[in-house]
Amino acid sequence: MSNYNAADSRYDTMDYRRCGKSGLKLPLLSLGLWHNFGDHDDQDNAREILQTAFDNGITHFDLANNYGPPYGSAESNFGKFFKQDFKQYRDELIISSKAGWDMWPGPYGNFGSRKYLIASLDQSLQRMGLDYVDIFYHHRPDPETPLEETMGALDQIVRDGKALYVGISQYNAEETAKAAKILKDLKTPFIIHQPRYNMIDRWVENGLMDTLEENGLGSIVFSPLEQGILTGKYLKGIPKDSRAATEGSYLDKAQITDEVVSQIQQLNELAEKREQSLAQMAVAWLLKDQRVTSVLVGVSRKSQLEDNLKAIRNIHFSSEELKKIDNILNF
């Protein structure tokens, strides 16, 4: 039995935005379980992060079939924490999962076939000990499977009661519009897109955000800190214990150029004037756009999450501040 009881004040400071034109609202910050919830991670720390998130109004936990490592372990571990701590709060939670990347050997464990998506979600539900997820995503476009098949699988998943809503991730504007048309015709509750987006990586501004708005879709953005670049970690170069210094990391040290260091130093000066850390300003910058329903944050400890939560205290930017950010980053 769990000794955990959620804070009575959990809804006092978090704001929630409607996801596109749907009836669902998401917290301004959501917790991503991509890292730090695998079998090799500190389980007490992972549990503390989840509890701290919910105690502060973060009702949305975002997973995928291949989160870990090893694959599936983030869902399995979340399932243990859910049973211990959160089962009594199920109706207050938004739990999402995804499928689209390689998950198991052979031709049926990857991309976007009906076979893969339905089988993968069945496995995810079993690992997490859930009857359904609130949102199920196709994790990336599949260049070979007909879009009608992939979207048809998402529709079937909802009709089978395994998900309440569906979404897509990493689709471009044209692909998103096509998917929206198919799902609208099927009357499937397609409500959300999960793209990569931050002050440095702005590909979504090249049509995708407009497409989402036109189709009544919300967005939940990942990698808000550009793999740690938009934090104070690299203000003086590359620390030995940083992600950029770790071989095989998602962040290549070649990305931390002298120009980048200069840019983040200038951004940090602006953040200090706003009485924010650089990371807080980076998160707030995303939330200035009402089309961003929620920002996915990934943290390795409770203190990082508490620091991110402070970002929502000030998500307003003057035109001068926005212009300065664009000039620093050469936009």
CB 95 within 8 A of CB 87: no
Buried b (16+ CB within 10 A) or exposed e, 46-62: bbebbbbbbebbbbbbb
CB 196 within 8 A of CB 170: yes
Question: DSSP states of 293-326 as a string?
Answer: -EEEE--SSHHHHHHHHGGGG-----HHHHHHHH
In a domain, 246, yes or no: no
In a domain, 323, yes or no: no
Max alpha carbon distance in the chain (Å)?
54
State how far the alpha carbon of 314 is from the alpha carbons of 153, 280, 306, 319, in Å: 41, 9, 15, 15
Mean pLDDT on 79-99? 98
State yes or no: pLDDT of 245 exceeds 80.
no
* pLDDT score for 3: 87
In a domain, 326, yes or no: no
Residue 37's CATH number? 3.20.20.100
Give the pTM.
0.94
Quote the number of domains for the chain.
Answer: 1
In a domain, 295, yes or no: yes
Tokens of 257: 């150029």
Per-residue pLDDT band for 45 (boundaries 50, 70, 90) equals very high
- Residues of the domain holding 113: 16-225+286-314
Least confident of 41-45, 86-90, 227-231, 323-327: 227-231
CB 284 within 8 A of CB 210: no
Start-to-end CA span in the chain (Å): 53
Question: DSSP states of 181-243 as a string?
Answer: HHHHHHT--EEEEE-B--SS--GGGTTHHHHHHHTT-EEEEB-TTGGGTTSGGGTTS--TTSG
Angle 201-176-64 from CA coordinates, rounded to 5°? 70
In a domain, 137, yes or no: yes
Alpha-carbon span 204 to 155, nearest angstrom: 25
Q: Give the H/E segment covering residue 33.
A: none
CB 219 within 8 A of CB 193: yes
In a domain, 188, yes or no: yes
From the list 102, 54, 96, the residue with the least C-alpha distance to 75 is 96
State yes or no: pLDDT of 36 exceeds 50.
yes
Per-residue pLDDT band for 246 (boundaries 50, 70, 90) equals low
In a domain, 270, yes or no: no
Mean pLDDT of the chain: 94
**Dihedral angle sign, alpha carbons of residues 15, 210, 191, 121:** negative
CA 62 to chain CA centroid, nearest Å: 6
In a domain, 38, yes or no: yes
State yes or no: pLDDT of 247 exceeds 60.
no
Mean pLDDT on 262-266? 94
3-class state of residue 247 by DSSP: coil
